[in-house]
Amino acid sequence: MRIFVTGAGGFIGSHLCEQLLRQPEHEVIGIDGMAGAGSARRNLRQLLSHPRFRFIEGDIRRTSLVELLDGVDVVYHLAGMPGVRSSWGADFSKYSVNNIEVTQQLLEACTIVPIRRFIYASTSSIYGEKSGSVPEAAVPEPLSPYGVSKLTGEYLCHVYAHNHGLPVIILRFFTVYGPRQRPDMAFHRFIRSFIEDRPITIYGDGLQTRDFTFIGDGVEAIAAAATAEGAIGETINIGGKERASVRDAIGILEELFERKAKLAWQPKAQGEPRHTWADIRKAEQLLGYKPSTSLREGLRLQMLDMLEMMKGEG
Protein backbone atom coordinates (compact mmCIF):
# COMPACT_ATOMS: atom_id res chain seq x y z
CA MET A 1 0.00 0.00 0.00
CA ARG A 2 1.33 3.44 -0.91
CA ILE A 3 0.66 6.06 1.77
CA PHE A 4 1.11 9.84 1.49
CA VAL A 5 1.76 11.75 4.74
CA THR A 6 1.73 15.54 4.95
CA GLY A 7 3.66 17.04 7.86
CA ALA A 8 6.00 14.02 7.80
CA GLY A 9 8.79 15.94 9.52
CA GLY A 10 6.57 16.93 12.45
CA PHE A 11 6.16 15.38 15.87
CA ILE A 12 3.20 13.13 15.10
CA GLY A 13 3.95 12.81 11.39
CA SER A 14 7.46 11.38 11.83
CA HIS A 15 6.28 8.85 14.42
CA LEU A 16 3.39 7.87 12.15
CA CYS A 17 5.72 7.27 9.19
CA GLU A 18 7.92 5.04 11.35
CA GLN A 19 4.87 3.12 12.56
CA LEU A 20 3.52 2.62 9.04
CA LEU A 21 6.88 1.38 7.77
CA ARG A 22 6.88 -1.39 10.38
CA GLN A 23 4.42 -3.08 8.02
CA PRO A 24 6.49 -4.50 5.13
CA GLU A 25 3.66 -4.01 2.64
CA HIS A 26 3.66 -0.22 3.11
CA GLU A 27 5.53 2.39 1.11
CA VAL A 28 5.42 5.93 2.50
CA ILE A 29 5.79 9.26 0.73
CA GLY A 30 6.27 12.14 3.16
CA ILE A 31 6.10 15.86 2.49
CA ASP A 32 7.02 18.69 4.84
CA GLY A 33 7.71 22.41 4.43
CA MET A 34 10.45 22.17 7.10
CA ALA A 35 9.22 25.28 8.93
CA GLY A 36 11.02 24.08 12.05
CA ALA A 37 14.02 22.84 10.11
CA GLY A 38 16.20 21.81 13.04
CA SER A 39 13.65 19.65 14.82
CA ALA A 40 12.27 18.31 11.52
CA ARG A 41 15.70 17.05 10.47
CA ARG A 42 16.09 15.28 13.80
CA ASN A 43 12.59 13.83 13.49
CA LEU A 44 13.39 12.48 10.02
CA ARG A 45 16.78 10.99 10.77
CA GLN A 46 15.48 7.43 11.14
CA LEU A 47 13.34 7.72 8.03
CA LEU A 48 15.56 9.22 5.35
CA SER A 49 17.64 6.06 4.93
CA HIS A 50 14.63 3.74 4.86
CA PRO A 51 14.26 2.01 1.47
CA ARG A 52 10.46 2.34 1.45
CA PHE A 53 10.37 6.02 2.42
CA ARG A 54 10.51 8.92 -0.01
CA PHE A 55 10.77 12.45 1.34
CA ILE A 56 9.75 15.67 -0.40
CA GLU A 57 10.69 19.03 1.06
CA GLY A 58 8.22 21.63 -0.13
CA ASP A 59 5.16 23.77 0.34
CA ILE A 60 2.00 21.80 -0.42
CA ARG A 61 0.46 24.89 -2.01
CA ARG A 62 3.24 25.02 -4.58
CA THR A 63 3.41 21.31 -5.30
CA SER A 64 1.88 19.31 -8.12
CA LEU A 65 -0.37 17.32 -5.82
CA VAL A 66 -2.08 15.32 -8.55
CA GLU A 67 1.29 14.11 -9.76
CA LEU A 68 2.47 13.25 -6.24
CA LEU A 69 -0.73 11.39 -5.45
CA ASP A 70 -0.53 9.16 -8.51
CA GLY A 71 -0.71 5.57 -7.27
CA VAL A 72 -1.36 6.60 -3.65
CA ASP A 73 -3.88 4.52 -1.72
CA VAL A 74 -4.14 6.47 1.57
CA VAL A 75 -3.58 10.13 2.41
CA TYR A 76 -2.82 11.26 5.95
CA HIS A 77 -3.17 15.03 6.26
CA LEU A 78 -1.21 16.00 9.37
CA ALA A 79 0.39 19.21 8.12
CA GLY A 80 -0.94 22.42 9.59
CA MET A 81 -0.32 25.43 11.77
CA PRO A 82 -0.51 24.36 15.45
CA GLY A 83 -0.94 26.30 18.67
CA VAL A 84 -3.86 27.92 20.50
CA ARG A 85 -2.06 30.90 22.02
CA SER A 86 -0.46 32.11 18.81
CA SER A 87 -3.65 31.93 16.74
CA TRP A 88 -5.01 35.31 17.85
CA GLY A 89 -4.51 38.61 16.04
CA ALA A 90 -2.68 39.08 12.77
CA ASP A 91 -1.08 35.64 12.93
CA PHE A 92 -4.44 34.04 12.16
CA SER A 93 -3.67 34.47 8.46
CA LYS A 94 -1.13 31.64 8.84
CA TYR A 95 -3.84 29.42 10.29
CA SER A 96 -6.26 30.31 7.54
CA VAL A 97 -3.72 29.40 4.86
CA ASN A 98 -2.18 26.31 6.41
CA ASN A 99 -5.21 24.76 8.10
CA ILE A 100 -8.00 25.73 5.73
CA GLU A 101 -6.69 26.58 2.26
CA VAL A 102 -4.12 23.76 2.17
CA THR A 103 -6.73 21.24 3.32
CA GLN A 104 -9.09 22.37 0.55
CA GLN A 105 -6.35 22.09 -2.08
CA LEU A 106 -5.42 18.59 -0.97
CA LEU A 107 -9.05 17.46 -0.91
CA GLU A 108 -9.52 18.91 -4.40
CA ALA A 109 -6.54 16.94 -5.69
CA CYS A 110 -8.00 13.77 -4.18
CA THR A 111 -11.12 14.20 -6.29
CA ILE A 112 -8.94 13.76 -9.38
CA VAL A 113 -6.73 10.90 -8.21
CA PRO A 114 -8.64 7.89 -6.83
CA ILE A 115 -7.68 7.10 -3.23
CA ARG A 116 -8.97 4.57 -0.74
CA ARG A 117 -8.90 6.85 2.34
CA PHE A 118 -8.32 10.47 3.30
CA ILE A 119 -7.44 10.71 7.01
CA TYR A 120 -7.59 14.20 8.50
CA ALA A 121 -5.79 15.09 11.72
CA SER A 122 -8.04 17.27 13.86
CA THR A 123 -7.89 18.25 17.51
CA SER A 124 -9.75 18.21 20.81
CA SER A 125 -9.66 22.03 20.58
CA ILE A 126 -12.76 21.89 18.38
CA TYR A 127 -14.87 20.82 21.40
CA GLY A 128 -14.25 23.87 23.56
CA GLU A 129 -15.29 23.74 27.23
CA LYS A 130 -17.04 20.48 28.04
CA SER A 131 -17.66 18.52 31.24
CA GLY A 132 -17.08 14.83 31.62
CA SER A 133 -15.96 12.35 29.00
CA VAL A 134 -16.58 13.88 25.57
CA PRO A 135 -17.99 11.72 22.74
CA GLU A 136 -17.50 12.56 19.09
CA ALA A 137 -21.17 13.59 18.81
CA ALA A 138 -20.67 16.52 21.22
CA VAL A 139 -21.47 19.92 19.70
CA PRO A 140 -18.27 21.66 18.55
CA GLU A 141 -17.70 24.97 20.36
CA PRO A 142 -14.05 25.97 19.81
CA LEU A 143 -12.62 28.64 22.11
CA SER A 144 -9.75 29.76 19.87
CA PRO A 145 -9.10 30.75 16.26
CA TYR A 146 -6.89 27.66 16.03
CA GLY A 147 -9.84 25.45 16.99
CA VAL A 148 -12.02 27.23 14.43
CA SER A 149 -9.46 26.63 11.69
CA LYS A 150 -9.24 22.91 12.43
CA LEU A 151 -13.02 22.58 12.66
CA THR A 152 -13.29 24.30 9.28
CA GLY A 153 -10.95 21.64 7.92
CA GLU A 154 -13.34 19.00 9.25
CA TYR A 155 -16.26 20.68 7.53
CA LEU A 156 -14.32 20.76 4.26
CA CYS A 157 -13.74 17.01 4.61
CA HIS A 158 -17.48 16.48 5.06
CA VAL A 159 -18.26 18.67 2.04
CA TYR A 160 -15.91 16.69 -0.23
CA ALA A 161 -17.16 13.39 1.16
CA HIS A 162 -20.77 14.41 0.45
CA ASN A 163 -20.22 15.92 -2.99
CA HIS A 164 -17.41 13.77 -4.36
CA GLY A 165 -17.69 10.59 -2.35
CA LEU A 166 -14.24 10.98 -0.82
CA PRO A 167 -13.58 8.22 1.76
CA VAL A 168 -12.84 10.53 4.70
CA ILE A 169 -11.88 9.67 8.29
CA ILE A 170 -11.41 12.40 10.92
CA LEU A 171 -9.19 11.80 13.95
CA ARG A 172 -9.33 14.22 16.89
CA PHE A 173 -6.11 14.17 18.91
CA PHE A 174 -6.05 14.94 22.64
CA THR A 175 -2.78 16.52 23.92
CA VAL A 176 -0.21 14.20 22.37
CA TYR A 177 3.18 14.09 24.12
CA GLY A 178 6.37 12.04 24.14
CA PRO A 179 9.76 12.00 22.41
CA ARG A 180 10.16 14.70 19.73
CA GLN A 181 7.25 16.77 21.04
CA ARG A 182 7.14 20.29 19.57
CA PRO A 183 9.14 22.94 21.50
CA ASP A 184 6.05 25.10 22.09
CA MET A 185 4.14 22.34 23.88
CA ALA A 186 3.90 22.19 27.66
CA PHE A 187 5.88 19.07 28.51
CA HIS A 188 8.73 20.05 26.21
CA ARG A 189 8.91 23.45 27.90
CA PHE A 190 8.66 21.92 31.38
CA ILE A 191 11.43 19.37 30.78
CA ARG A 192 13.71 21.92 29.14
CA SER A 193 13.22 24.22 32.14
CA PHE A 194 14.20 21.40 34.50
CA ILE A 195 17.31 20.58 32.46
CA GLU A 196 18.34 24.24 32.27
CA ASP A 197 17.38 24.88 35.90
CA ARG A 198 14.98 27.67 34.95
CA PRO A 199 11.47 28.43 36.28
CA ILE A 200 8.57 26.61 34.63
CA THR A 201 5.90 28.98 33.34
CA ILE A 202 2.40 27.90 34.34
CA TYR A 203 -0.67 29.59 32.91
CA GLY A 204 -3.56 29.77 35.37
CA ASP A 205 -3.63 27.82 38.64
CA GLY A 206 -2.14 24.58 37.31
CA LEU A 207 -5.25 22.61 38.24
CA GLN A 208 -6.50 22.41 34.66
CA THR A 209 -6.56 18.79 33.47
CA ARG A 210 -5.77 17.20 30.14
CA ASP A 211 -6.28 13.83 28.55
CA PHE A 212 -2.60 13.16 27.80
CA THR A 213 -1.96 10.84 24.86
CA PHE A 214 1.44 9.18 24.59
CA ILE A 215 2.74 9.29 21.03
CA GLY A 216 3.61 5.58 20.96
CA ASP A 217 0.01 4.68 21.81
CA GLY A 218 -1.56 7.29 19.56
CA VAL A 219 0.28 6.36 16.36
CA GLU A 220 -0.87 2.77 16.65
CA ALA A 221 -4.46 3.98 16.40
CA ILE A 222 -3.63 6.51 13.70
CA ALA A 223 -1.87 3.86 11.59
CA ALA A 224 -4.77 1.44 12.08
CA ALA A 225 -7.11 3.95 10.43
CA ALA A 226 -5.50 3.14 7.06
CA THR A 227 -7.11 -0.29 6.95
CA ALA A 228 -9.71 -0.52 9.74
CA GLU A 229 -13.11 -1.78 8.64
CA GLY A 230 -16.07 0.49 9.26
CA ALA A 231 -13.94 3.60 9.82
CA ILE A 232 -14.71 5.50 6.62
CA GLY A 233 -17.07 8.39 7.26
CA GLU A 234 -16.35 8.36 10.99
CA THR A 235 -14.94 10.96 13.38
CA ILE A 236 -12.83 9.31 16.09
CA ASN A 237 -11.26 10.61 19.31
CA ILE A 238 -7.66 9.62 20.00
CA GLY A 239 -7.12 10.10 23.74
CA GLY A 240 -4.76 8.68 26.33
CA LYS A 241 -4.53 6.21 29.19
CA GLU A 242 -4.91 8.75 31.99
CA ARG A 243 -5.89 12.32 32.73
CA ALA A 244 -3.91 14.57 35.03
CA SER A 245 -3.56 18.20 36.03
CA VAL A 246 -0.60 20.37 35.11
CA ARG A 247 0.47 20.26 38.75
CA ASP A 248 0.27 16.46 38.73
CA ALA A 249 2.56 16.34 35.68
CA ILE A 250 5.06 18.69 37.30
CA GLY A 251 5.00 16.49 40.41
CA ILE A 252 5.96 13.48 38.28
CA LEU A 253 8.80 15.45 36.68
CA GLU A 254 10.02 16.49 40.13
CA GLU A 255 10.26 12.81 41.03
CA LEU A 256 12.04 11.95 37.78
CA PHE A 257 14.55 14.82 38.14
CA GLU A 258 14.77 14.32 41.91
CA ARG A 259 14.35 18.00 42.71
CA LYS A 260 11.60 20.56 43.17
CA ALA A 261 10.52 22.69 40.24
CA LYS A 262 10.88 26.44 40.16
CA LEU A 263 7.52 27.89 39.14
CA ALA A 264 6.59 31.17 37.42
CA TRP A 265 2.86 31.89 37.40
CA GLN A 266 1.08 33.65 34.55
CA PRO A 267 -2.61 34.48 33.94
CA LYS A 268 -4.80 31.81 32.34
CA ALA A 269 -4.17 31.47 28.62
CA GLN A 270 -6.93 32.75 26.36
CA GLY A 271 -8.82 30.15 24.36
CA GLU A 272 -7.89 27.04 26.34
CA PRO A 273 -10.51 24.86 28.04
CA ARG A 274 -10.27 24.07 31.74
CA HIS A 275 -10.47 20.31 31.19
CA THR A 276 -10.29 17.79 28.34
CA TRP A 277 -11.34 14.16 28.50
CA ALA A 278 -11.80 11.89 25.50
CA ASP A 279 -14.43 9.21 25.19
CA ILE A 280 -12.34 6.68 23.24
CA ARG A 281 -14.88 3.88 22.93
CA LYS A 282 -15.19 4.39 19.18
CA ALA A 283 -11.40 4.17 18.75
CA GLU A 284 -11.40 0.99 20.80
CA GLN A 285 -14.16 -0.50 18.68
CA LEU A 286 -13.04 0.59 15.20
CA LEU A 287 -9.26 0.84 15.55
CA GLY A 288 -8.56 -1.71 18.27
CA TYR A 289 -7.09 1.13 20.32
CA LYS A 290 -5.82 0.29 23.81
CA PRO A 291 -3.55 3.03 25.21
CA SER A 292 -1.19 1.42 27.70
CA THR A 293 1.54 3.94 28.57
CA SER A 294 1.27 5.61 31.96
CA LEU A 295 1.91 9.33 32.23
CA ARG A 296 4.96 8.66 34.39
CA GLU A 297 6.50 6.28 31.84
CA GLY A 298 5.67 8.57 28.93
CA LEU A 299 7.27 11.55 30.67
CA ARG A 300 10.32 9.46 31.51
CA LEU A 301 10.76 8.55 27.85
CA GLN A 302 10.30 12.16 26.76
CA MET A 303 12.80 13.30 29.39
CA LEU A 304 15.43 10.82 28.16
CA ASP A 305 14.87 11.89 24.55
CA MET A 306 15.26 15.56 25.44
CA LEU A 307 18.41 14.92 27.48
CA GLU A 308 19.92 13.28 24.40
CA MET A 309 18.72 16.08 22.12
CA MET A 310 20.04 18.86 24.33
CA LYS A 311 23.39 17.10 24.73
CA GLY A 312 23.67 17.40 20.93
CA GLU A 313 22.80 21.09 21.13
CA GLY A 314 25.73 21.67 23.44
Percent of the chain with pLDDT over 90: 97
**Topology annotation, domain 186-210+242-276+292-313:** UDP-galactose 4-epimerase; domain 1 (3.90.25)
pLDDT in tens, 181-209: 999 999 999 999 999 999 999 999 999 99
> Residue 114 to residues 25, 100, 167, 304: CA-CA distances in angstroms?
20, 22, 10, 43
Asked if residue 4 lies in contact with residue 165, where contact means CB atoms within 8 angstroms, the answer is no
Can you state the angle between helices 295-313 and 215-224, rounded to 10 degrees?
100
- What CA–CA distance (Å, rounded) separates 234 from 267? 37
**Type of residue numbered 201:** T
- Closest to 249 measured CA to CA, from 214, 215, 289, 290: 214
Three-state secondary structure call for residue 251: helix
* Phi-psi domain of 197 (left: phi exceeds 0; alpha: psi -120 through 50; beta: other): left
Where do the CATH 3.90.25.10 domains begin and end in the chain? Answer: 186-210+242-276+292-313
> Residue 94 to residues 54, 79, 103, 127, 293: CA-CA distances in angstroms?
27, 13, 13, 22, 34
In the prediction, which pLDDT does 92 show? 97
In the prediction, which pLDDT does 313 show? 76
Where do the CATH 3.40.50.720 domains begin and end in the chain? Answer: 2-177+213-238
In the prediction, which pLDDT does 213 show? 98
Q: Does domain 2-177+213-238 have CATH number 3.40.50.720?
A: yes
Catalytic residues: 146
Asked if residue 145 lies in contact with residue 80, where contact means CB atoms within 8 angstroms, the answer is no
